Amino acid sequence: MDLRVAVYDDNDALRDSLYYLLSGSPGFVVAGLYPGCDNLLSDIKENKADVVLMDIDMPGINGIQATAILKSHFPEINVLMLTSYDDSSKIFDALQSGATGYLLKKTPPAKILDAIAEVANGGVPMTANIARKVLEFFTEKKNVKSNVYDLSVREKEVLSCLVKGDSYKMISVACFISMGTVCTHIANIYKKLHVNSKSEAVAKAIRENLTGH
């Protein structure tokens, strides 16, 4: 089934480019194109998007605020940030708000399509330099809180895989465990971290350095 993708960006030229990219690529359908998020909830109810491409700097409600609103009402919809900002504060604010991935607008079109598919299949795609900033955050973080939530060694391994953007299948292969066991570990992680989604778990892991890297 084709992935329904909605785009929120106030740049007319970029919206047009994304429209032609998505509509001309097999497996993707344009669910809607919007210059702002002021009617976000009614838009989403109407367009029934699977994935939302979200800019950050827009008039009215910005993309980070919009992501938090969207995820609170439609937790099953994946939000992929597509922005010009590569500073750490924006990255972590976006992840904390519920974004499932973070790309820069200079990302090649083919990689944007790959990222949309990846996020829909359980991954957490990030542009290479964004991923480096995440790793730097782990390296520089001094107060490791990995024992606060009583995560087991295996749970920390699984959480680390989630942070890297691995899908459930990739985690299964990397950790030599079944998909069912992966799901069990992730359910336990959610319970211990007091979160309800993968994006919330990843954001909390990054914010508090829970994998200890």
* Contact call for residues 113 and 105 (beta carbons, < 8 A): no
Mean pLDDT of the chain: 88
Q: What is the pLDDT of residues 85-124, one digit of tens each?
A: 888 878 888 888 889 999 999 999 999 999 999 999 888 8
Domain limit, last residue, from 135, 158, 192:
135
d(CA 169, CA 122): 9
Is 213 among the domain residues? no
Residue 92's pLDDT is what?
A: 83
Residue 69's pLDDT is what?
A: 93
Domain span including residue 25: 3-135
Domain limit, last residue, from 76, 110, 135:
135
**Angle between helix 88-97 and 128-140 (nearest 10):** 90
Residue 178's pLDDT is what?
A: 93
CATH number, domain of 166, equals 1.10.10.10
